Structure 1
Amino acid sequence: MADLQGEVTAPAEAGELDQPAPTVPVPAPAPDPRTHLARHPVADGYCGLPETLRTLPWHDLELGETSVESDLPRLRAGGTGALLWALDAAEDSPLTAALEQIDLINNVVARYPEGLRLARSASETADARAHGRIAVVIGPAPATATGDSLGTLRALHTLGLRALTLSGASWAECERGLTRFGEEVVREMNRLGMLVDLTGATRATVAGALAVSKAPALFTRSGARALNQHPDNVPDDLLADLGERKGLCLVPCSAARTGPELRDVADHLDHVRDVAGPGSVGLSGMYDTGDAHPEGLADAAGYPALIAELQSRGWPEDHLALLTWGNVQRVLREAEFTARAARQRRGPSTARP
Structure 2
Amino acid sequence: MADLQDELDSPAEAGEDEERRTAPTPTDDTFPSDEPAPEPEPLEPDLRDALERARDLLAAHPVADGYSGLPSALRELPWYDLELGDSGLQTDLPRLRAGRVGAQFWSLQVPDPGAEGDRAVSSALEQIDLVRHVVGRYANGLRVARDASETTDARNCGRIATLIGPASARAIGDSLGALRQLHTLGLSSLTLAGTSWAGADGMTPFGEEVVREMNRLGVLADLSGASPATARRVLAVSKAPVLWTRSGARALREHPANLDDELLAEVGRTKGLCLVPFAADRTGPTLGDVADHMEHVRRVAGPECVGISGMYDTRSAHPGELADASRYPRLVAELLGRGWPEADVAALTWGNVQRVLRGADFTARAARERRGASTATIGRLDG
Q: Same fold (TM over 0.5)?
A: yes
Of residues 234-243 and 166-175 in structure 1, the stretch that sits farther from structure 2 once superposed is 166-175
Aligned positions of 1:306-345 closer than 5 A: 306-345=331-370
Residue 4 of structure 1 is matched in structure 2 by none
Residue 215 of structure 1 is matched in structure 2 by 240
Aligned pairs, number: 325
Residue 9 of structure 1 is matched in structure 2 by none
CA contact (8 A) 1:48 1:86 kept: yes
Counterparts of 2:102 and 2:320, CA distance in 1 = 23
Where 1:57 maps in the other structure, the secondary structure is coil
Counterparts of 1:340 and 1:116, CA distance in 2 = 27
Where 2:327 maps in the other structure, the secondary structure is helix
CA contact (8 A) 1:128 1:134 kept: yes
Counterparts of 2:100 and 2:123, CA distance in 1 = 30
Residue 15 of structure 2 is matched in structure 1 by none
Residue 53 of structure 1 is matched in structure 2 by 74
Cα 1:278–1:31 shift into 2, 3 Å: farther
Aligned positions of 1:3-22 closer than 5 A: none
Where 1:161 maps in the other structure, the secondary structure is coil
Residue 39 of structure 1 is matched in structure 2 by 60
Cα 1:317–1:350 shift into 2, 3 Å: same
Counterparts of 1:170 and 1:162, CA distance in 2 = 22
Where 1:338 maps in the other structure, the secondary structure is helix
The question of 1:143 aligning with 2:169 is answered yes
Q: 2:138 aligns with which of 93, 112, 119?
A: 112
Aligned positions of 1:1-353 closer than 5 A: 32-91=53-112, 92-175=118-201, 177-353=202-378
CA contact (8 A) 1:173 1:201 kept: yes
CA contact (8 A) 2:51 2:329 kept: no
Residue type of the alignment partner of 2:328: Y
Residue type of the alignment partner of 1:152: A
Counterparts of 2:158 and 2:62, CA distance in 1 = 11
Residue type of the alignment partner of 1:143: A
Q: Structure 2-normalised TM-score? A: 0.84
Counterparts of 1:47 and 1:39, CA distance in 2 = 22
Q: Which whole-Å deviations, capped at 9, do the CAs of 1:31-87 have from their partners, x for residues lacking one?
A: 610001111000000000001101111100000011110101111111110000000
Counterparts of 2:65 and 2:287, CA distance in 1 = 16
Where 2:372 maps in the other structure, the secondary structure is coil
Where 1:221 maps in the other structure, the secondary structure is coil
Cα 1:29–1:280 shift into 2, 3 Å: closer
Counterparts of 1:134 and 1:174, CA distance in 2 = 37
CA contact (8 A) 1:31 1:311 kept: no
TM-superposed CA distance for 1:132, in Å, is: 1.1
TM-superposed CA distance for 1:30, in Å, is: 8.4
Q: Which whole-Å deviations, capped at 9, do the CAs of 1:196-243 have from their partners, x for residues lacking one?
A: 000011111110000000000010000001001110001111110011
Cα 1:346–1:312 shift into 2, 3 Å: same
Q: Which runs of 5+ in 1 are unaligned?
A: 1-27
Residue 7 of structure 1 is matched in structure 2 by none
Q: Structure 1-normalised TM-score? A: 0.91
Q: Report percent identity of matched pairs.
A: 65
Counterparts of 1:122 and 1:217, CA distance in 2 = 15
Counterparts of 2:129 and 2:286, CA distance in 1 = 36
TM-superposed CA distance for 1:350, in Å, is: 1.1
Q: Which runs of 5+ in 2 are unaligned?
A: 1-48, 113-117, 379-383
Residue type of the alignment partner of 1:154: R
Q: Which whole-Å deviations, capped at 9, do the CAs of 1:6-35 have from their partners, x for residues lacking one?
A: xxxxxxxxxxxxxxxxxxxxxx98861000
